[in-house]
């Protein structure tokens, strides 16, 4: 339960500390005093969304602290809200709001006066039913969520594949054709330069041969190399006489080597030059093929070869994607069937749970003053979706002689409050260690208010119950009573007992806290509540 609760700079409340015990605790005060702020702070402690509107004028941040004491030990929680951000702490360590919510879990339940709005919404009704599922039903819910999440993942993967198998096949065939066309041409890096050179020699072979032959003729009958050899022998003999000529010998030997090589190469070229129309045609065909590939795939041969490699990789990827698409299609069908099967189990669990909720809620409603109410919580089957294959609806009639209708349309304000209370008592609120009610008694008075107070006190028999109320009949049943008082722009919170409590209940009864007769009525109401005959 919530052992201690402290707020600092919470809107009108500069600081307040509430030491809470088990049983039934009420918080009262004049309208606008700020009593519902305390439950707003409790929502922060639960990990709900924060609001900068809660920051008061006494500082730049709002601080909410609480200590939970239970079978798992003591847990200290804190929330700090500034203009820029909200920070959460669990046992002194920084945590996320989500972690805070997971830590508190179902330990604290807050039932608001406007919860009937959620009960008019299918999503709100689903949450209500799911909160009351037994272990088998909760397992069905978990299995459905897992199956649906898996189905969404598979469908997402299908979408990532493009969704259109024929389009993928076309893209694969195109990539494969492009890779094969480039690879089939047989080009390699440098082939373009080699082809250009061969084409030039074949196109201008006659003129080139003439020049080469003339060059050979200019070298003489014995060739330049033979003349240089003779010169080298003579120079070597001279160097024996004058050693300073040795470098000239070396230079001339290098020239002779180069000359011999050049003479040999010129001879080879001269002998290889021939007019070959067939060879020229083949080379020109290869150049035309290369030009065609460059027009399609790149500015030069290197770009063409790179494109071919990328196309081959893409074709392989598309092969794998199409194989995966086949597997995905099969897996999607199987998972869709699993969603249907598990959805059927969840539907049965929700239907059974809704029947139990109605049964228990009707019992609470009769104790809260309805003589013969009708409450229908119907779970209809629909196509599977993220939250199941169910569409719950809630219909109500205050008496069996009346036709049940939508809750928000047929129930009065006082009836709505009691219906919300009955339904929450029949579901999750009944399992929480701490249950807080935020002015759940709106529109209720008289004998029904006494019955409501008795019901809340009864609920507090094995758990902690907090209630913000404006009804003296409800406040009279409390074990602990806190009052929120406002003076100008500042509010304070304090516990009342004895004479102070008589004055507060007198104020609630007649607006006269100092009236002796009012105090007498307050004392009578307290005696009535604690005598065990409150609802008479």
Strand pairing category for 464-468 and 23-29 = parallel
Average pLDDT, integer, range 352-380: 92
Residues 283/191, Cβ–Cβ less than 8 Å: no
493 three-state secondary structure: strand
Burial class (CB in 10 A: 0-12, 13-18, 19+), 33: buried
Question: Three-state secondary structure along 63-103?
Answer: EEEEEEEECCEEEEEEEEEECCCEEEEECCEEECHHHHHHH
- Which residue blocks in 273-300 are alpha helix, DSSP H? 277-297
- pLDDT value, residue 220: 66
pLDDT in tens, 454-500: 888 988 888 899 999 999 999 999 999 999 999 888 999 999 999 99
CA atoms within 13 A on the CB side of 499: 3
> Cβ–Cβ contacts within 10 Å for residue 458, how many?
15
Q: Quick one: tokens of 70?
A: 């239970």
* CB distance 373 to 405 below 8 Å: no
pLDDT at position 417: 75
Which residues, listed in sequence order, are joined to residue 110 by a DSSP beta bridge?
436
Beta-ladder partners of 6 = 17, 65
How would you classify the pairing of strands 388-397 and 93-95? unpaired
The H or E element containing residue 192 is: helix 191-203
> How is the chain split into domains, by residue range?
165-319
The per-residue pLDDT for 536 is 43
Give the tens place of pLDDT for each residue, 13-33: 989 999 998 999 999 999 888
> Looking at residues 392-418, what average pLDDT do you find?
85
Q: Report the pLDDT averaged over residues 298-305.
A: 92
Average pLDDT, the chain: 85
The answer to whether the Cα torsion of 262, 263, 269, 273 is positive or negative is positive
Cβ-contact 298, 237 below 8 angstroms: no
Strand order in the sheet with 388-397: 374-385, 388-397, 405-406
3-state secondary structure at position 372: strand
Tell me the whole-structure pTM to 2 decimals: 0.60
**Average pLDDT of span 193-219:** 69
435 band by pLDDT with thresholds 50, 70 and 90: confident
Mean pLDDT confidence for 72-87: 90
């Amino acid at each position: 339960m919530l052992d201690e609760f402290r707020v600092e700079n919470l809107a009108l409340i500069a600081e307040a500390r509430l030491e809470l015990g088990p049983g039934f605790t009420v918080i009262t005060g004049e309208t606008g005093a700020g009593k519902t702020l305390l439950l707003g702070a409790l929502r922060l402690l639960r990990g709900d969304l924060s609001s900068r509107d809660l920051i008061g004028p006494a500082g730049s941040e709002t601080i909410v602290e609480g200590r939970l004491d239970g079978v798992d030990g003591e847990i200290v929680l804190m929330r700090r809200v500034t203009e820029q951000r909200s920070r959460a702490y669990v046992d002194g360590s920084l945590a996320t709001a989500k972690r805070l919510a997971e830590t508190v879990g179902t330990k604290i339940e807050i039932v608001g006066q406007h919860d009937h709005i959620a009960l008019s919404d299918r999503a709100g009704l689903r949450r209500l039913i799911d909160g009351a599922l037994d272990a088998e039903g909760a397992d069905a819910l978990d299995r459905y969520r897992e199956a649906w999440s898996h189905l969404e993942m598979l469908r997402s993967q299908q979408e990532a594949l493009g969704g259109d198998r024929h389009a993928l096949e076309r893209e694969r065939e195109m990539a494969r054709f492009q890779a094969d066309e480039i690879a089939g041409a047989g080009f390699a890096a440098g082939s373009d330069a080699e082809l250009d050179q061969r084409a030039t020699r074949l196109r201008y072979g006659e003129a080139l041969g003439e020049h080469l032959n003339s060059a050979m003729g200019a070298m003489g009958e014995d060739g330049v190399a033979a003349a240089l050899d003779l010169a080298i022998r003579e120079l070597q003999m001279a160097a024996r006489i004058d050693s300073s000529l040795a470098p000239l010998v070396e230079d001339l030997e290098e020239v002779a080597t180069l000359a011999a090589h050049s003479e040999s190469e010129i001879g080879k070229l001269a002998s290889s030059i021939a007019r070959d129309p067939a060879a020229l045609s083949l080379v020109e065909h290869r150049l035309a093929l290369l030009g065609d590939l460059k027009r399609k795939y790149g500015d030069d041969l290197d770009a063409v070869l790179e494109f071919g490699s990328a196309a081959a990789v893409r074709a392989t990827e598309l092969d794998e994607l199409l194989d995966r698409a086949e597997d995905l299609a099969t897996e999607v069908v199987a998972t869709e069937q699993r969603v249907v099967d598990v959805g059927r189990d969840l539907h049965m669990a929700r239907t059974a749970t809704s029947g139990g909720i109605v049964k228990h809620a009707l019992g609470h409603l009769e104790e809260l003053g309805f003589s013969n109410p009708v409450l229908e919580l119907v779970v209809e089957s629909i196509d599977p979706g993220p939250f199941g294959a169910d569409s719950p609806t809630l219909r109500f009639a205050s008496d069996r002689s009346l036709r049940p209708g939508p809750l928000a349309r047929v129930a009065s304000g006082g009836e709505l409050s009691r219906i919300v209370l009955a339904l929450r008592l029949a579901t999750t609120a009944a399992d929480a260690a701490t249950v807080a009610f935020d002015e759940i008694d709106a529109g209720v008075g008289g004998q029904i208010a006494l019955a409501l107070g008795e019901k809340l006190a009864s609920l507090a028999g094995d758990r902690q119950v907090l209630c913000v109320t404006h009804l003296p009949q409800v406040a009279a049943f409390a074990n602990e009573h806190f009052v929120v008082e406002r003076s100008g722009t500042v509010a304070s919170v304090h516990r009342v007992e004895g004479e102070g409590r008589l004055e507060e209940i007198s104020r609630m009864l007649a607006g006269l806290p100092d009236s002796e007769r009012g105090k007498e009525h307050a004392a009578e109401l307290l005696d009535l509540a604690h005598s065990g005959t409150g609802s008479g």
